[in-house]
Homo-oligomer: A and B are copies of this chain.
């Protein structure tokens, strides 16, 4: 079956990235950046492996997409991420003037959407895409971790 290039399709790709993070013991968050229906950056959380709190999936995706494009503004790009961006990542997405942010699971504790809107005024934010799959992955990770 040929999958159309829609929000679900790209979120599935972000989920694949999140699963890679889970496999190496990282909090499973994955992201992709899309320009003209083409994935130009893929990343997953690497905070443990890199010993670096700034190595969230979104931060790496922003850096990687800007590198690919040769310019630091992502105003023609969409970011798909399995978990709602935190304030750090929301701030970075704002500086990048990203066109669209799509996230799956909500993060009621650390999510950037809890306070004032910190995104660029032109940024469209869409939440809840493949929310169940994204939530199950991250909740399952923490459930397993607590059982250990």
By a beta-carbon cutoff of 8 Å, the part of chain A in contact with chain B is 47-48, 51-54, 59, 62-63, 66-67, 70-73, 86-92, 94-96, 115-116, 118
Contact = CB atoms under 8 A, between A and B. Distances in A.
Contacts of A118: 87
Contacts of A88: 87-92, 94-95
A72 B96 contact: no
Contacts of A87: 87-88, 90-91, 94, 118
B53 A72 contact: yes
A96 B53 CA distance: 6
A53 B92 contact: yes
A55 to B, nearest CB: 8
A92 B52 CA distance: 10
A89 B53 CA distance: 11
Contacts of A70: 51
A48 B95 CA distance: 13
